[in-house]
Amino acid sequence: MIYTTFSVRSCHLLLSAGLLVNCIGFSARAQTVASYTFRPSAGLTAGSRSALLPTLFSSSHAANLLLLRNGDILCFSFSGTREGDSNVAIVVSRLPKGSQTWEPAVLVDREEGKSYQNPVPIEDAHGRIWLYNTSQSANKGQADSQVLKVYSDDGAKTWSKPEVVFDKAGSYLRQPTVMGENGELLLPIYYSTSSGITNGADTNYSVVDVSKDAGKTWRECRVTGSNGLVQMSIVKLRPKSYVAFFRSRYADFIYRSTSTNGCEWTAPTKTVLPNNNASIQATLLKDGHIAIAFDNTQGKSPEKLAAHEPQTGPRAPLSVALSSDAGLTWTSVRDLEIPDAAVRASVVNSPGVGDTIQFPGEEEYSYPSILQNPSGQILVAYTYRRVAIKAVLFDESWIRQGNTVGVYKPAR
């Protein structure tokens, strides 16, 4: 069992998410006993299986999955009172090989006065697990962020002390590393030159840091034409062939770029898939297809879309799409979560929430991580209303059998 103290508001939100909670007075002792095991889904996602991951704190966001060589799957996220607050921590939960139940979440690291965010894990050839994450001053935005790293030699049970890897102010990351042509690491980074994700965010830009010595030193490769395009998700298609997909600060479309060496990239161009200025993630499937998880929606202001100005959009529906031609076209899209009027109504009527995206309980299904497990099933983990991380497991054919209520609807 895991016991965590929550506010009354978060307590009720966890109840709505299917977690057993006892609310007493102004705080609650939440006993997380349900939903950690994959079970058949119903309704919208019938034919898949889903689970809510164990939580440590009242807010959870930004999942990233890692398939270990021993067959276990780790899911990292950041968790605390609220994004940007002091002591927001990096946590991890494990799905053991052959198991259908996620193990209790474990604290990796946190620091008073800092907000830790966006964990990015990698397992090296010797079995050491490296974890990169951002660190920024609490409640001051992203402009002073740095990137830290820790490592574990006991399968993510204990961790080293953090050290700074990238100290340039505004250094940020989100997406997994990719192995290059000669064993070098390709780590997509972006610079958050603005304090937030709208005002001034058109100056944010993407780079790929390349290491030939297992992360000891790095060489930076800037992506030309990437202003306002961040969180670059790189897919290695085959030797000397890479494709990447970008989140857009303009909340218009997902953008696409290609490379032959992982360092020099074509200027990103629009795809047909929409973007809401929220994270995406793509992965290469065993049959050569690409699966991408994303919010199938755009910015709320048509005027800003027309003027190409930074903005945000709703973080629902959350969808997954398939491409058989390296992301040039997308032939199938299916929703994992769709907008819910009852959720919107509860948020609107809750004091102090408004239009923010950082409070537990928001109608938000976002920041997906996606991989294909050894049995060939696709696993997507994502933010579930900021109260937990949810995981959904399905076959590739499941995507083709569904549809979407989102902006992009492929021709049938």
Nearest-CA neighbor of 253 among 273, 236, 235? 273
Predicted confidence at residue 342, as pLDDT, reads 75
DSSP state of 363: S
Q: Determine contact, residues 333/404, Cβ cutoff 8 Å.
A: yes
Does residue 319 fall inside a structural domain? yes
Domain membership of residue 252 (yes or no) is yes
Q: What per-residue confidence (pLDDT) applies to 18?
A: 46
The per-residue DSSP string of 119-153 comes to EEEEE-TTSPEEEEEEEEETTS-STT-EEEEEEES
Q: Are the C-beta atoms of residues 324 and 331 closer than 8 Å to each other?
A: yes
Pull the structure tokens for residue 375: 């049995």
- pLDDT averaged over 10-residue windows placed end to end, the chain, 412 residues: 41 47 33 73 95 95 97 97 94 97 96 96 96 95 94 96 96 96 95 93 97 95 98 97 98 98 98 98 98 97 97 97 98 96 63 45 91 97 96 98 97 83
**Bond into 339 cis (ω within 30):** no
Q: Tally the residues of the chain.
A: 412
Rg (CA), the chain: 20
Query: Which residues lie closer than 8 Å to 161 by C-beta, 6 or more apart?
Result: 150
Neighbours of 141 (CB within 10 A): 16
With vertex at residue 50, the alpha carbon angle to CA 47 and CA 52, rounded to the nearest 5 degrees, is: 165
Number of structural domains the chain divides into = 1
Query: Would residue 29 count as lying in a domain?
Result: no
In a domain, 28, yes or no: no
Give the per-residue pLDDT at 34: 54
> Does residue 283 fall inside a structural domain?
yes
Q: Are 97 and 117 in contact (CB under 8 A)?
A: no
Residue closest to 263 by CA, chosen among 214, 219, 229: 219
The values of phi and psi at residue 61, to 5°, are -160, 160
Kindly provide the b/e burial profile for residues 78-116, where b requires at least 16 CB atoms within 10 angstroms of the residue's own CB: bbbbbbbeeebbbbbbbbeeeeeebbebbebbbeeebbb
Report yes or no: 371 and 65 within 8 Å, Cβ to Cβ. Answer: yes
Question: Maximum Cα–Cα distance for the chain, whole Å?
Answer: 60
Give the residue among 207, 198, 202, 331 at the shortest CA–CA distance from 273.
331
Q: Looking at this protein, which amino acid is placed at residue 334?
A: R
CB within 8 Å of 333: residues ≥ 6 apart = 296, 319, 320, 321, 322, 399, 403, 404, 406, 408, 409, 410
Assigned domain for 191 exists: yes
The strand ranges marked E within 260-349 are 269-274, 281-284, 290-295, 318-323, 332-337
The torsion angles phi and psi of 305, rounded to 5 degrees, stand at -60, -45
Per-residue confidence (pLDDT) for residue 23, from 0 to 100 = 34
What range defines the domain where residue 315 resides?
A: 39-401
> Does a structural domain hold residue 13?
no
CATH code of the domain containing 78: 2.120.10.10
DSSP code at position 46: B
Within 13 Å of residue 12, how many CA atoms lie on the same side as its CB?
10
Distant-in-sequence, close-in-space partners of 247: CB < 8 Å, separation ≥ 6: 229, 230, 231, 254, 275, 277, 278, 279, 280
Query: How much is the pLDDT for 353?
Result: 32
Distance CA 268, CA 78 (A): 29
The verdict on residue 396 lying in a domain is yes
